[in-house]
Amino acid sequence: MIVPTTTHWTEVDSPVGPLLLTADPATGALTSLSVPGQKGGRTVQEGWRHDPALFRAAEEQLAAYFAGELKEFQLELSTGGSEFRERVWAALDTVPYGATTTYGEIAARIGASRAAVRAVGGAIGANPLLIVRPCHRVIGADGSLTGYAGGLDRKVRLLTLEGRLQGASSLF
């Protein structure tokens, strides 16, 4: 008999709004980070267990990131995507703080064809770990700030925090 696991969650305040974090209760691995209004984002469900203690490391690292003191998260992650999505998400993890990349560059990093750029975009859009897995660092080939599941205003704020965009340093 398979025993269902309960999703553990907490909410953390941030300069880009409240962040909903979920984790695997057995391992403590972060399974999602969502923001209000996020396309495909999570919301607290009946039966979930509020467990702030499980998220102390994530909360501390997020606070340090927003204070400009942390450039790389060191958290255990568990996303459970398809093999293709996991490859795309792993490529996102290699985009350094303060840098940007394009959908085409991500496709090339995972050995996908140029024709796969659309599928790469879909995988990036389905990233369940906003901010921690830096999909906000992916831009259009022409340098445009293309879609972001958390909203373009948040993307601008995150890229500004990381020093990639100028003129909005008062956002934090």
Active site residues: 135
* CA dist., res. 94 & res. 91, Å (int): 5
Note whether 26 and 5 are within 8 A (CB).
yes
The enclosing H or E element of 125 equals helix 117-125
Place of tokens 């927003």: 66
Contact between 79 and 128 (Cβ < 8 Å): yes
**With left for phi above 0 and alpha for psi between -120 and 50, is residue 98 left, alpha or beta?**
left
Backbone angles phi, psi at 48, to 5 degrees: -70, 155
